[in-house]
A and B are shown apart, each in its own frame.
Chain A
Amino acid sequence: MAPTSRTILICSGKGGVGKTTLTANLGIALARLGLRTVVLDADFGLRNLDLLLGLENRIVFTAQEVLAESCRLEQALVKHKQEPNLALLPAGNPRMLEWLKPEDMKTIAGMLEEQFDYVLIDCPAGIEDGFKNAVAAAKEAIVITTPEVSAVRDADRVIGLLNTHGVKPVQLVLNRVRPKMMANQEMLAVDDVTDILALPLLGLVLEDEQVIVSTNRGEPLTLNGSKSPAARAYGNVARRLQGEEVALIDPSKEGRGLRAKVRRLMQKKIF
């Protein structure tokens, strides 16, 4: 095993909050820091990590064949075109869900840990079997959520489940933050979210249209050194994971908003 290998589950509970986007971008960002990184798609039912990375047409074997021992791990790993430090282990076919056991995920993660510094697992939405399989392999986790009541509630549930599975540490990424709406109190404030979830904040990612563009192109934002706010945020998450101290952005300074002080005084609770 690589002595410092870290297996990190990226999960949210609710769908569509940015798990796969974070996995892809964080994978690239870590690889760009010179770390051998593999992203593992644990969303067997609705896989699309390969799409985001633009690797869909390069997949020959998947985790399914590796588990069935009909191919070697090296054959199934898809190396990223521009970022050789990053590899993808594609999910198998959706029918795999029926027989996949938590032990199988452990086996795969164990194999990957021998070769890579970072194993990032893209968790499926929900807390059913797919989640249970993914969580079995994880040692630590990043919970991603958006400043919405439903996303926060689901994240809270997932954090509880991660705790019962003994996954530690669990850190938080707050995605799709709109500074202007926060300042106008039309959206949950960062404090409201961290108040409930009580997790260390690993990153704040601003709402950014570039994310949609990059997703459709299959080129994660972090890949070409984009200066867009989201790309910066993903890069910062990677550096913080590496133990570097990077200050969090202050959403109140990003938009034209009221001062944080006033905001806190007048804050209206949505919960």
Chain B
Amino acid sequence: MAIDRNAGLPQQLLFPPERTSHWEDNLPEQLGQFQPGAVEIFTQQWQLTCRDLQRLQTQLQEAGFSIALVRAGNPQTVISAQALGLQVKPIGSQQSSNPEETTNEGIDQLRVHRGTLRSGDQLDTAGDLLILGDVNPGARVSAGGDVMIWGRLRGIAHAGQFGDKSARVVALQLRPLQLRIADQVARGPEDQPQAGLAEEARIERGEIVIEPADPRLSRRFLEGDPPAAPGRPLA
């Protein structure tokens, strides 16, 4: 990392290019040469999660710095920073300064996460989310579109977090603590799941319902026919 110390401008914390070294490694050394106060952060193309950014924020705060602006080249980092309420400016191809545009960038994309999300983990994406692994109690996943989990959902899932009421949550075992679709919230079911049957949650007549994720049923549903059997409404 290098420092830019132009008089009058905020201090700029530069992340190293990806793969040469990890940004956390040279952070303390770089901060040592700074005056406490506001800093701008150039995250280059690094993909940072909310957790990464939070950690960075705490580290900076402990050292007497505050984050004035995050300049990010990676759409995921932009979203993470926005989720934390930080000032963000996307850098990269179109140098756009309109946050609306960057939020939309990822919306049609599918984000795939491999591995189990454990208590305290958070995953947030603008588009659809596919998780190959479990979501444990205490973990939280949210997506602008559908949340699909090839594993067990026992934490909290939020599909259609920007208001998409057609978003769905699908999991091999759907036993979340809490389920959110668009602006609806429901507690998870408490009965034992049927073995070997994937389940799906969606909004039907203003309520979140859960039912077996039957692919034929889904297709009919998508084509506009009402499903043969209405799902069980949840509390």
Contact = CB atoms under 8 A, between A and B. Distances in A.
Given A156-B118, A160-B119, 8 more contacts: A153-B119, A157-B118, A157-B120, A160-B120, A163-B118, A198-B116, A269-B175, A269-B192
Interface in A97-112: none
Nearest to B134: A198
A153 B138 contact: yes
A196 interface: yes
Among B120, B137, B175, B192, the one with the most A-chain Cβ atoms within 10 Å of its Cβ is B120
A154 B175 contact: no
Given A153-B119, A269-B175, A196 B136 contact: yes
A271 to B, nearest CB: 6
A157 B140 CA distance: 12
A271 B117 CA distance: 16
B175 A271 contact: yes
Given A153-B137, A271-B137, A160 B175 contact: no
A156 B175 CA distance: 17
B154 interface: yes
A159 interface: yes
A157 B138 CA distance: 8
Contacts, number: 34
Interface string A137-160: 000000000000000011011011
Contacts of A267: 192
A106 to B, nearest CB: 13
A159 B118 contact: yes
B51 to A, nearest CB: 8
Interface string A23-40: 000000000000000000
Interface in A149-203: 153-154, 156-157, 159-161, 163, 196, 198
A160 B136 CA distance: 11
Q: Is the interface of B mostly helix, strand, loop or mixed?
A: loop
B100 to A, nearest CB: 32
Nearest to A267: B192
Contact-residue bracket for chain B: 10 to 19
B121 interface: yes
A23 B116 CA distance: 28
A187 B203 CA distance: 35
A156 B154 contact: no
Nearest to B121: A160
B192 to A, nearest CB: 6
B153 to A, nearest CB: 12
A11 B190 CA distance: 31
A75 B117 CA distance: 44
A157 B119 contact: yes
B195 to A, nearest CB: 12
Interface string A232-271: 0000000000000000000000000000000000010101
Given A269-B175, A271-B175, A154 B134 contact: no
Interface string B115-135: 011111100000000000010
